[in-house]
Amino acid sequence: MTMAFCALVGIAGHAWAQPAGTLSVGSKRFTESYILGEIISLIATQTAEATVVLRPGMGNTGILLAALRAGDIDIYPEYTGTIIREILQSQRVLTLKEMNQLLEPMGLAASIALGFNNTYALAMREDLAEKLNIRTISDLKNHPQLRLGFTQEFIGRQDGWPGLKARYSLSLSTPRGIDHGLIYEAVAANQVDVMDAYTTDAMLKRYPIRLLADDLGYFPAYEAMLLYRSDVPQRFPKTWLALQSLQNAISAPAMISMNSQAEQDKVGFSHIAQDFLTEANSDRAPRNFFSVMFAEDFWRLLGEHSRLVFISLVLSIMLGIPLGVLCFEIPLVRQFVLGSVSVVNTIPSLALFALFIPLLGMIGTIPAICALVLYGLLPIVRNTYSGLSDIPGDIQETTRMLGLGWAYRLVRIELPMSSRSILSGVKTSAVINVGTATIAAFIGAGGFGERIAQGLALNDNAMLLAGAIPAAVLALIVHGGFEISEKWLVPKGLRKSGKRSSPGVRTDA
């Protein structure tokens, strides 16, 4: 029932698609992609031809590709090696013309090479590599005891660990999955020995790291370029002409320098992009935590986060209360319904959010709301059922003897008597969803999770807290709002009685 409801929400959600005249720019969840997304967005904005929407840190290649094909975004920075190996599933090197011939049936195209190559590499601490005399990837075969720490995407993608392991006949241990923003510190702290890296990583300058030579030539060139919906040049001719200025405009040293500004100097992505486009390198005032917390994106993120929580809560109430009543009235379906909503809460959050992308054929707000609706059902369903079950039997029997109709009894007597328990479940659901909604940023739905994702990418604790603290404060405000609203939503007699809302049933499930 709930899945069918979410499917209907998804179908209706296509009406929420971006209006004509809107150019949506996406980026992946690592420093370089954030910066390039900002640069593309700023150039497009300066032409004043379209309303430009930037959707930063949306996730990995699969999510960005799904968003591009569904029309949720129009353009994002990608790399030739990823296009060839991961998107087109080709094992041979393709020319740009060949790539575009294969992308055409998908409604996509690639062009405007940015000017630098950011290929994959394996890396180790310099002292460990020197001690073991490891200079190439082939040398790793002699050291099966080494501990691997790779990004989750590198572990799974065909041009990453699976193909590399087969090409070099490596028998190393199963790699640990670590976010790219944390992987350098993990190596420096001696928690892993071998990691994957990008050759334009700024952290390569900060840490004593040795890049291992790809002596069998496994990794292809990863020339940065733009991947876009094929109708973008026709829809936005002025913007497309302006974007041509990026052709070979960014050298590898320039990209490393920009990455370094973000990761080491903690300069904001938008400021880095502005400096690049204006060729300004003036010193910026040192930032403080409050400037990060109340940056210009604060109100946008608050609005997105609140919208996710409010809409999903309303839908959870619309579904959860009837399901709780159903459990009370029909014992045969009770265990199935309660068991189903309980099982949903055992599914990892990011997995459930990602599951709705292929189901609904889109990313962003609609899949996020569907996942939040399912997560919000358990406390509402259980507390509704518990509240109805706690009504004294003599009261239930008296209402039946008086010949009161089922609907009248439910609306005028049973639900009001259960209102404290139901409100407690709704309150718990709302607070849970405020926290869970931070995961929505990983599928492009925005909210304070954007800052958390950026903080992870940059290993920036201030940015992490600037996302986590507002979400926590919002949860406290929501909780307080429900406490205050009890005097309007709960009958006066029940408020004074001090009756427990749900004996024997946890309301924080």
pLDDT at 159: 78
Residue type for position 273:
A
Structure tokens at 83: 């296009």
pLDDT at 403: 65
Structure tokens at 238: 């002025």
Contact (CB, 8 A) for 44 and 242: yes
Q: Where are the alpha helices (H) located in 92-251, listed in sequence order?
A: 96-103, 126-132, 152-156, 161-168, 180-188, 203-206, 232-235, 237-243
Q: Which fold has domain 298-497?
A: MetI-like fold (1.10.3720)
Q: In terms of C-beta density within 10 A (0-12 exposed, 13-18 middle, 19 or more buried), how is residue 138 classed?
A: middle
Q: Which fold has domain 120-211?
A: D-Maltodextrin-Binding Protein; domain 2 (3.40.190)
Q: What is the pLDDT of residues 254-285, one digit of tens each?
A: 999 999 999 888 888 999 999 999 875 545 55
Which of 442, 445, 464, 455 lies closest to 153, judged by CA? 442
The 3-class secondary structure across 232-260, one letter per residue, is HHHHCHHHHHHHHHHCCCCCHHHHHHHHH
Contact (CB, 8 A) for 224 and 113: yes
Q: Answer whether 120-211 and 298-497 agree in fold.
A: no
Residue 185: how many CB atoms within 10 A of its CB?
13
Quick one: DSSP state of residue 111? E
pLDDT at 458: 77
Q: Across 180-331, where does the E strand assignment appear?
A: 194-198, 209-211, 224-229
Sequence-distant (6+) residues with CB within 8 A of 195 are 122, 123, 124, 148, 149, 150, 178, 183, 184, 186, 187
Which segments in the chain show pLDDT lower than 50? 3, 7-8, 11-17, 282, 497-509
Structure tokens at 284: 């910026």
Rounded Cα gap, residues 411 and 442, in angstroms: 41
Please state the separation of Cα 381 from the chain's center in Å: 27
Quick one: DSSP state of residue 347? S
Quick one: DSSP state of residue 19? P
pLDDT at 207: 86
Contact (CB, 8 A) for 491 and 65: no
Please state the separation of Cα 183 from the chain's center in Å: 19
Task: Give the global pTM.
Answer: 0.74
pLDDT at 91: 81
The 3-class secondary structure across 418-430, one letter per residue, is CHHHHHHHHHHHH
Domain ranges in the chain are 17-116+222-286, 120-211, 298-497
Q: Which fold has domain 17-116+222-286?
A: D-Maltodextrin-Binding Protein; domain 2 (3.40.190)
Contact (CB, 8 A) for 109 and 103: yes
Rounded Cα gap, residues 479 and 429, in angstroms: 10
